[in-house]
Amino acid sequence: MTLQEIKNRFGIIGGSPVLDRAIDIAKQVAPTDLTVLITGESGTGKEVFPQIIHALSARKHGQYIAVNCGAIPEGTIDSELFGHEKGSFTGAHEARKGYFEVANGGTIFLDEVAEMPMATQARLLRVLESGEFIKVGSSKVLKTDVRVVAATNVNIQSAIEKGKFREDLYYRLNTVPIIIPPLRERKQDIYLLFRKFAADFSSKYRMPTIKLDADAEQILSNYYFQGNVRQLKNITEQISVIEKTRDINAETLVKYLPVNQTSQLPVLTNNTGGSNNDFSERDILYKVLFDMKKDLTDLKKVVVDLIENDNQMNHDFHPENATIIKKLYQDVGTTPETTIQLGYNTSTPTVMNANETTNSKIIEVEESLSLQEIEEDMIKKALTKHKGKRKNAAKELGISERTLYRKINEYNIK
């Protein structure tokens, strides 16, 4: 089955390379019995990929069961997954088969697997290792032949560090990882999805299809969809039902986009609240530039004060002052837009533009224009400040530990 045939069969819209890569991995791993872990943000469509894997596998004629682990109460999840015997707990009036027994010979999809209680994780680990499980209230060991596909929108590494997820279970589940890209990384697919949803709601509510003008289409494609495909679908449905006109302009569209997400600039927040959001390299650079702007303003004030003090005291401009100013520039890693040249001789000190010439001794402080160098320097400073503790350094920079690890490897920071 070709890539396009898979998309047509499972209703997948889009042609971005990152999406095609995820589908191709699912296609390649389907004929095997390997365990698959699907990761991605909420609303990206993770539930479609287990269906692809099951339909293209030798188990396609067996049972396919999807289980939302986060929706099952902790006290009953063991019974749901592994079954129970009659009288094993209050309300157990008869024996019941669990999903692993029912799905024998087929595929079971464990959605939101990171929400599973620790005790249940231990039971699941045994199933993955030996295919064995025990019903609640029984001592008899049963066998099952089930292909497990799991999914989560949680940062598993962070959950492991907090003691909420078993590391050995993670490695069992993560035999083949499939990463579903967020919608903002599939910009070319956003308008295609909008048109598909608009046509569906037009048919559902028996009304003409809504259309976007060029400006509205541009805004939609550049919007940061926190809720991904699910959020886009909801917005399309709202506009289809509420708006009387079928031609939607930018002004109308913006009313349906949450205000706190329409800006293209990242919102810099203190990440101590345990957020799972992962900031991109662009977010790091914005944070660095914002901090540099404040440092630069403070630096200008220091330079002016030094010069004014020398004027008031009617002293020569000492080389030590130039050294101090140069050191200040090095500390913030930048200079004003024009190179500052500080000349000193037996006359009154002056601040000259780069184009002016003088026979006096010149100190030039040049600006580094490389964003990569600035980013690398900020990461080094954060690591030095926190004595090499990457977790604290990541919090200081406002990024996740995963992003910090990747940047450390990229810049070969020791």
Domain locations along the chain: 3-181, 184-262, 265-414
Token couple for 25: 């991995």
Chain centroid to CA 10: 25
Rg (CA), the chain: 30
Q: 72-75 — which CB contacts under 8 Å span 24+ positions?
A: 74/117
pLDDT of 345 reads: 41
Distance CA 51, CA 149 (A): 10
What's 360's DSSP letter? S
- Each residue's pLDDT, cut to its tens digit, for the chain (414 residues) gives 899 999 999 999 999 999 999 999 999 999 999 999 999 999 999 999 999 999 999 999 999 999 999 999 988 999 999 999 998 888 888 999 999 999 999 999 999 999 999 999 999 999 999 999 999 999 999 999 999 999 999 999 999 999 999 999 999 999 999 999 999 999 999 999 999 999 999 999 999 999 999 999 999 999 999 999 999 999 999 999 999 999 999 999 999 998 754 444 344 444 444 444 444 555 556 556 666 666 666 666 666 666 666 555 544 445 555 555 555 555 555 444 434 444 434 344 444 444 444 444 444 444 455 667 788 888 888 888 888 888 888 888 888 888 888 888 888 887
Buried b (16+ CB within 10 A) or exposed e, 247-274: ebeeebbeeebeeeeeeeebeeeebeee
Distance CA 361, CA 352 (A): 12
The amino acid occupying position 173 is L
**Contact of 184 with 43, CB cutoff 8 Å:** no
Interacting residues of 177 by C-beta distance below 8 A, sequence separation 6+: 36, 37, 38, 39
**Contact of 285 with 374, CB cutoff 8 Å:** yes
Token couple for 47: 């539930």
| Cα–Cα nearest to 240, from 207, 213, 196 | 207
Residue 206 class from Cβ within 10 Å (0-12 exposed, 13-18 middle, 19+ buried)? exposed
Q: What's the first-to-final CA gap in the chain, in angstroms?
A: 47
Distance CA 258, CA 262 (A): 7
Token couple for 74: 């902790």
Class of CATH domain 184-262: mainly alpha
**Contact of 44 with 183, CB cutoff 8 Å:** yes
**Contact of 387 with 277, CB cutoff 8 Å:** no
- Note the pTM of the prediction, 2 decimals: 0.62
| 3-state helix, strand and coil shares in percent for the chain, rounded to the nearest 5 | 50, 15, 35
Query: What crossing angle do the helices spanning 371-385 and 281-313 adopt, rounded to 10°?
Result: 80
What is the β-pairing status of strands 350-352 and 64-68? unpaired
Distance CA 260, CA 224 (A): 10
Token couple for 143: 């066998």
| Residue 405: φ, ψ to 5° | -60, -45
Q: Report which secondary-structure segment, H or E, holds 391.
A: helix 390-397
Tell me which CATH homologous superfamily contains domain 3-181.
P-loop containing nucleotide triphosphate hydrolases (3.40.50.300)
| Residue 248: φ, ψ to 5° | -100, 125
pLDDT of 319 reads: 55
pLDDT of 408 reads: 87
Distance CA 111, CA 377 (A): 41
Distance CA 239, CA 210 (A): 8
Alpha helix (H) residue ranges in 71-186:
77-82, 99-102, 118-130, 156-161, 167-173
**Contact of 155 with 104, CB cutoff 8 Å:** no
- Tell me the CA distances in angstroms from 64 to 43, 45, 51, 106, 107, one per residue in order: 21, 17, 8, 6, 5
pLDDT of 284 reads: 59
The amino acid occupying position 93 is H
What's 294's DSSP letter? H
Token couple for 132: 């064995």
What is the β-pairing status of strands 141-143 and 96-97? unpaired
